[in-house]
Structure 1
Amino acid sequence: MRSPVGHHPRLERIELEQGLIAYRCPESGGHWIRAEHYWKWHSTRKDTPPASTPALDEENHPVSEYDDAVKLCPDSGTVLTRYRVGHGHAFRIDRSTTGSIWLDGGEWEALKAENLHHTLHLIFGAPWQKAVRDQARDETHRLQLIQRLGPDLHARLEALHQELAHHPERAAALALLNSPLKHEPLPE
């Protein structure tokens, strides 16, 4: 079985976690996890909810020179499909039509650090991917507002937005903000 990246060296069988068989690329440090091995390992796990995923600094994201490369499934030869992890992670993971997973070097460790490694299968689901798209859309909107309003005004408005969120006179405050400005009378 050959690696889907680099010069396609033979994958080395390893135990990625206790009871989780994977195949490691000696060139890239990536991991191939067959679906049957993941589900067998997953079935022995105690239910531990994933930790909340705070936004990470860009420098903490694993960066792979193979991130944009077309990767082929080591088992079936089909093209792997990329899925954005999101939730503070800038990288994507790849999945085969067989259900098996390719993680570029450092991605398993990043997922494990955020306690997402044992719920890896959720990343491929529609609810997860919708949340990733919604998060990206919201961030784009926020950046457009900052560009249009300027960072100072945006920050002040964001603080006011937070303050008014649960204020008992929120409606009156919004009415004031929406009312036309009155001009000061000119001095005589």
Structure 2
Amino acid sequence: MLCSSCNTGTLMPTRIDGNGPVCYQCNHCNGALLSLAPYLDWVRTQPVPVASTQSFEDEAKDTKRALPCPKCSRIMLRFNVLADKAHGLDFCFHCEEVWLDAGEWLYLKAQGLHTRITSISTDPYQRRLRDQALRESAQQRFRTVVGDEGFNEVQRFASWLKNQPAREAILRHLSNEARE
């Protein structure tokens, strides 16, 4: 099978990361085509993962263009892994395959997501990412308006306020003060 990512290499059967699930890996770009059925069988034998506390040197390459499935040539659907949109996984639901660019398996392991690849393509997962990105964007806009020092002070106050039994009264008071 010809690699549809680099269009140069051949996909050869192997195991990801030596003892990971069976896949077809490109002998040129090191991308991997992961079949979901054997992957799910492999997942059932794995302990529950946790995100790594080690820093991850991001050597993963992420193809930003639409990829055709190496098996059926249909365009694979891309799903973001995290809200930062740094990496996406390409799924072919017709063939039940996932394309991992070189280094993405290690990236997924570092995030504690290598045993949850199928959840990445779900609507609830993607919705959470969109909500997180919106929250982060709003925080950044607010930081721009009030500056770093003001932002840090508001964050400190919000953290203190969260644990106050009279929280609602404090907020009402601040709202009334702002109107005067």
Which category describes the TM-score, using the shorter chain as reference length? Answer: 0.7 to 0.9
1:69 deviates by 1.8
Q: 1:78 to 1:173 in 2, by over 3 A?
A: same
1:140 deviates by 0.8
Q: Is the 8 A contact 1:53 1:88 kept in 2?
A: no
State the 4+ residue runs in structure 1 displaced beyond 6 angstroms.
none
Unaligned runs of 5+ in 2: none
Partner of 2:4: 4
One-letter code of the match for 2:127?
K
Q: 1:81 to 1:182 in 2, by over 3 A?
A: closer
Structure showing greater radius of gyration is: 1
Deviates more, 1:100-109 or 1:166-175: 166-175
Distance 2:39 2:4 in 1: 19
Unaligned runs of 5+ in 1: 184-188
Q: Is the 8 A contact 1:82 1:94 kept in 2?
A: yes
Distance 2:29 2:11 in 1: 10
Partner of 2:50: 51
SS at match of 2:160: helix
Q: Is the 8 A contact 1:11 1:24 kept in 2?
A: yes
Partner of 2:109: 112
Q: 1:176 to 1:53 in 2, by over 3 A?
A: farther
Report sequence identity in percent: 23
* 2:96 maps to 1:99: yes
* 2:38 maps to 1:37: yes
Number of residue pairs aligned between Structure 1 and Structure 2: 178
Q: TM-score, normalised by structure 2?
A: 0.86
Q: Is the 8 A contact 2:51 2:110 kept in 1?
A: no
Q: TM-score, normalised by structure 1?
A: 0.82
